[in-house]
Structure 1
């Protein structure tokens, strides 16, 4: 069976929006430690291996915004596409208290193969999709766990992440905070400043408007929830972009 590291959903759509999903899948291809990283199935189903619910939100959101979605087809534990190639966390050996045996002592050859067959094709697909449309706008969709092991519960339903380019993120943050039923994180539960990550590479580095949205994964566990969040976010994103005059 041929492994495809990336899928493009709605490539022929002509809108400005490009929806990115770095951590859509928990699949481990056979060239990565024989297709098994030594992680228990219940852990491979957790956020340490991918972003639960993010794929469904991304596909639905892209359709509503009339743009393509670019989705990875490999686990972040194989190699993290939301990291620069020289990032020390590119191939994780420990994640939220779980050891990743298949990544311990990985050779340069094996790491290079994961780069060549997973990481680089994903970013090449994003570049092609962005270059194919005039004035693209990037929105990256992620999900976060309600609580890390040994940490307090996270109060936010949604987070808006950004780095040095706040043209879209700050207006979106204000707009979401006007929603009476939402607790919105400002660069929470993570910071959006990660040199070499997907947004830095394809958004900030190219001068393209961009934002990263984090959704709490217990709120997007079902297809119905994923479509509901996409339906809620699509008009908000479109209105925010128009008001920002980007």
Structure 2
């Protein structure tokens, strides 16, 4: 591909910032890392919890990496766990720093005060979003594609049948043609605004796409389908041509 260079900082990694595609790939929940300055790099959770969906979007980084390669697009990913501070939440969202998530108490967050939330915001949340903004600003007509994954079942919840979820709010310029195409794939069970609905005010796509008016799409892949690199590559290979054809069909 055109540019494989990577810039890594405490809060983010940017891969291929100078790649020529209009697409910009982001992964808000790419990792379960905890910075050393937060409780010695340990949130107090057992490894089993840190390796499940409450800490990061399992498999999403691999899908994003391969998708960006296939689209010759830049890719920006977070370098901190969503449990440290969630980059897919607005600055004032009450769930920005979670103290309880899907049945697990987060010990290192139990006594977090406003000053500590602000410190994490300034050292992690803001630099990540600044990096995304910088990559988007390099493009005249950017298209934002955010990659996430979801768990097959929340504790006490129903099984989720979808393989892929396509999330969007008012701007469906990319989502609608993408859905029209992926619905034709008979072996993929696709949910429209499933397993979650649309976007939250101030979330990552609201900040980087909807407010400035850039076409966007958020794709969720069920995480049991992308546990291995082989599966991640396979899903990226499946999604890339659908995204490209959706762009053609959208006339954007």
Is TM (by shorter chain) over 0.5? yes
Distance 2:223 2:127 in 1: 27
Q: Show CA shifts across 1:158-193 (max 9, x none).
A: 000001111111111121111111110110001122
Are the counterparts in 1 of residues 45 and 107 from structure 2 also a CA contact under 8 Å? yes
Please name the residue that 2:145 is paired with: 139
SS in 1 for 2:217: strand
Note the aligned Cα RMSD (angstroms).
1.1
Please name the residue that 2:191 is paired with: 185
Deviation at 1:3, TM superposition (A): 6.0
The partner residue of 2:217 within 211, 217, 221 is 211
Please name the residue that 1:99 is paired with: 105
Mapping for residues 22-41 of structure 1, pairs under 5 Å: 22-41=28-47
Distance 2:11 2:135 in 1: 15
Please name the residue that 1:21 is paired with: 27
Please name the residue that 2:208 is paired with: 202
Distance 1:189 1:240 in 2: 22
TM-score (norm 1): 0.97
Q: Show CA shifts across 1:197-221 (max 9, x none).
A: 0100000011100000000001001
Are the counterparts in 2 of residues 56 and 223 from structure 1 also a CA contact under 8 Å? yes
Count of aligned pairs = 245
Please name the residue that 1:157 is paired with: 163
Deviation at 1:34, TM superposition (A): 2.5
Distance 1:189 1:66 in 2: 29
Distance 1:11 1:158 in 2: 27
Q: Which runs of 4+ in 1 moved over 2 A?
A: none
TM-score (norm 2): 0.95
Distance 2:63 2:250 in 1: 24
Q: Show CA shifts across 1:119-171 (max 9, x none).
A: 00000000000001110000000000111111111000000000111111111
The partner residue of 2:48 within 28, 39, 42 is 42
1:244 paired with 2:250, answer yes
SS in 1 for 2:211: helix
Are the counterparts in 1 of residues 199 and 205 from structure 2 also a CA contact under 8 Å? no
Please name the residue that 1:227 is paired with: 233
Are the counterparts in 1 of residues 166 and 218 from structure 2 also a CA contact under 8 Å? yes
Distance 2:113 2:102 in 1: 23
Distance 2:199 2:22 in 1: 24
Mapping for residues 101-116 of structure 1, pairs under 5 Å: 101-116=107-122
Segments of 5+ residues of structure 1 without an aligned counterpart are none
Deviation at 1:230, TM superposition (A): 0.5
Distance 1:208 1:33 in 2: 38
Are the counterparts in 1 of residues 32 and 56 from structure 2 also a CA contact under 8 Å? yes
Please name the residue that 2:65 is paired with: 59
Distance 2:198 2:28 in 1: 14
Distance 2:239 2:21 in 1: 16
Please name the residue that 2:12 is paired with: 6
